Chain A
Amino acid sequence: AQSVTQLGSHVSVSEGALVLLRCNYSSSVPPYLFWYVQYPNQGLQLLLKYTSAATLVKGINGFEAEFKKSETSFHLTKPSAHMSDAAEYFCAVLTQGGKLIFGQGTELSVKP
């Protein structure tokens, strides 16, 4: 069965610092992987997705993620955090049946 684990339910960084949100997946087939962001009281918005093309995927708002098959990881990074990046971030894997399996979410706080 496919699954996703996000390490750390809460991450706090200073404005301008590196953002690193961790995601590990379990899949017996080449996965499709997604990162979504949820701002307070809003729905989920796609940040980026990996669909077996380039292993380094660039998304919106300066975020990127690298697919590492050997580590079964798909960590999300951004070189310099902005206050507006404060939100909850979800990693997800798409099953062969077309269903998204989400991780537990990581809340990102950005300190001035």
Chain B
Amino acid sequence: NAGVTQTPKFRVLKTGQSMTLLCAQDMNHEYMYWYRQDPGMGLRLIHYSVGEGTTAKGEVPDGYNVSRLKKQNFLLGLESAAPSQTSVYFCASSPSRGGETQYFGPGTRLLVL
């Protein structure tokens, strides 16, 4: 039981390049989330999904897109990377929203030059 996994672990992009971050969970959770972590700002929600085929915007969605084609996977895309998107990205999942614990992946460190 791997829990929540993220690929890649680290990536360097040039401004304007695109990339996709993959999150996978093997706990059959309905809810999945993408956060970004920046120094002194805690974690901020980018997008989330309440089930297969559904997505919704979080606190800081601009410049990102997501897809949840399969229940176990949640993809985060950057169509045209900007230096402001340099951050550490965390994926999380939870069984439901009612007080349930969110389980986090190990993170992806992204540097945009």
Verify A46–B101 contact, CB threshold 8 A. yes
Interchain CB contact (< 8 A) of B106 among A42, A97, A99? A42
Nearest CB to that of A52 among chain B residues? Answer: B99
| In the complex with contacts A102-B42, A104-B42, A43-B105 CB distance below 8 A | yes
Q: Does B50 contact A (CB under 8 A)?
A: yes
Contact of B101 with A104 in the complex, beta carbons under 8 Å: no
List CB contacts (< 8 Å) of A77-102 with chain B.
Answer: 90, 94, 97-100, 102
Contact A32-B99, Cβ < 8 Å, known A43-B90, A43-B105: yes
**Complex contact A49–B101 (CB within 8 A):** yes
Instruction: Closest B residue to A96 by CB, please name it.
Output: B97
What total of chain B residues lie within 8 Å of the partner, measured CB to CB?
Answer: 26
Tell me if B48 counts as interface (CB < 8 A to partner A). yes
**B contact residues around A98 at 8 Å (CB):** 31, 48, 50, 94, 96-98
Complex CA gap A12/B102 in Å reads: 28
A-contact bits for B31-65, CB 8 A (1 contact / 0 none): 10100000011111100101000000010000000
- Whether B74 is near chain A, meaning CB under 8 Å from some CB there, is no
A43 touching B106, Cβ below 8 Å = yes
Q: How far is the CA of A73 from the CA of B101 in the complex (A)?
A: 20
The reply to whether B104 and A97 form a contact with Cβ atoms under 8 Å apart is no
* A contact residues around B94 at 8 Å (CB): 98
Residues of chain B within 8 A (CB-CB) of A49 are 99, 101
- CB pair B97–A104 under 8 Å, yes or no, is no
15 contacts between A and B (CB under 8 A): A32-B99, A34-B101, A42-B107, A43-B104, A43-B106, A44-B90, A44-B104, A49-B99, A49-B101, A90-B42, A97-B97, A98-B98, A99-B33, A105-B40, A105-B42
Which residues in A have some Cβ–Cβ distance to B below 8 Å?
A: 9, 32, 34, 36, 41-46, 49, 51, 90, 94, 97-100, 102-105
